[in-house]
Homo-oligomer: A and B are copies of this chain.
Amino acid sequence: MILPKSHRLTPEQVAEITAIAGEFGCKIQPIIGAVRTIYAIVGDERDELMINRLEGLDYVERIDRIQSPFKLMDRRSDLASHRIKIGGVTLGEELLVVAGQCTIDPKNPNFFYETAAAVKEAGAHVLRGGVWKPRTNPYSFQGDVKSLDILMEASRRTGLPVDAEVMEEEHIGVALAAGVNMLQVGARNALNYSLLRAIGKAVAERDTVVLLKRGLHMGPLNEFISAAEYIAAFGNPNILLCPRGTAPTLDGYRNHPDESITPLLKEKTWAPVVVDPSHSVGKASYVPACALAAVAYGADGLCIEAHVSPNQGIGDDPKQAVTPDVLKQIIGQARQLWTLRRTGGKGEKA
């Protein structure tokens, strides 16, 4: 939809926009209003170059796009009936819980083994463990590939599938070769399209699941979903969208909690939403409330940092990891709320 600056375009201007649209297989249809005439783009309006060229015209005020910019992730695509499974959970049928440490300490593997056993006991379905770490401060610990062995050993001991963040192309192959079941893209790489493409290619023929964190800014939801499209375009649609708080920070939290975008995402895409309350609020004491709020908004899963002894953890664990006891209570309450929402508060669904 082209909105001109004036009330009506001149015949020459109409000819110009018609020519541009024509190059991209589209037509222009005027919609004559009482005061102002606007011009619909009839056809596939998704070509960015066409939009950019039309927006560049000095008599155009703006272009309102009415089509979804993504094809595969669109709620109306054929993929909408696809169901993602991991850790014994079919997304949408049961609340998925991913839990574990922000960062595995390669010098103290026992902490991770104990955490792994404890989060399993608390009810988690997937074990999270940070191997490589993106750190704001270049002089902080950046992770260690040895941690990958610890992660996989914990997987063997508990039988849980594992989730690890990958930060560069090289990590992808290493992680997949080791047997990582869920690749995580962190917020700082949420728009790193090279990495997204590399992941898409690498998982194309696999049943690996990708947990895609939302970027750090309060940007448009379409941008978030389009990042998932990058991965899906190669053939594997096992993508979970993960809001994890945005910037600017809400006065008092680490980020600005954004679980409230869940219903809006679900109007646009069929992809499940798995919220990370740990990074959203950034402090263990706030995590239970944020986790419940995510379920209130309809989240399909939660990704929570937990540690058997947070203060002995490294990375973000000392401040934001919950203990296994708290994790167990969160999971219990979250499941009850999940049921409550589905039954309309009247007990179990028939």
Contact = CB atoms under 8 A, between A and B. Distances in A.
Contacts of A316: 52
Contacts of A193: 134-135, 138, 142, 167, 188
B167 A168 contact: no
A263 B292 contact: no
Contact of A141 (B49, B314, B317): B49
A217 B187 CA distance: 11
Nearest to A200: B138
Contact of A64 (B1, B32, B167): B1
Given A66-B3, A292-B341, A318 B55 contact: yes
Copies of this chain present in the complex amount to 4
The CB with the most chain B CB atoms within 10 A, among A76, A247, A297, A340, is that of A247
Nearest to A29: B31
A11 interface: no
A67 to B, nearest CB: 7
Interface in A232-279: 233, 246-253, 256-264, 267
B48 A42 contact: no
B188 A216 contact: no
Interface string A130-157: 0000111111111000000000000000
A223 to B, nearest CB: 6
Given A189-B192, A230-B138, A248-B218, A286 B263 contact: yes
A350 interface: no
A317 B318 CA distance: 43
A53 B260 contact: no
Given A140-B49, A297-B289, A56 B264 contact: no
Interface string A45-65: 011110011011110010010
B250 A260 contact: yes
A332 interface: yes
Contacts of A317: 52
Contact of A33 (B40, B140, B337): B40
A328 to B, nearest CB: 9
A246 B185 CA distance: 21
A24 to B, nearest CB: 12
Given A168-B169, A260-B293, A33 B38 contact: no
A8 interface: no
Nearest to A1: B1
A217 B246 contact: yes
A260 to B, nearest CB: 4
Given A31-B29, A66-B36, A344-B329, A219 B247 contact: yes
Interface in A203-244: 215-223, 226, 229-230, 233
A340 B229 CA distance: 38
A139 B230 CA distance: 8
The CB with the most chain B CB atoms within 10 A, among A58, A221, A223, is that of A223
A69 interface: yes
Smallest CB-CB A-B distances: 4 pairs: A217-B217, A292-B296, A188-B191, A252-B264
Given A167-B192, A250-B261, A250-B264, 13 more contacts: A48-B135, A136-B222, A138-B226, A168-B194, A189-B191, A215-B217, A219-B249, A252-B261, A252-B264, A260-B260, A289-B297, A296-B296, A333-B341
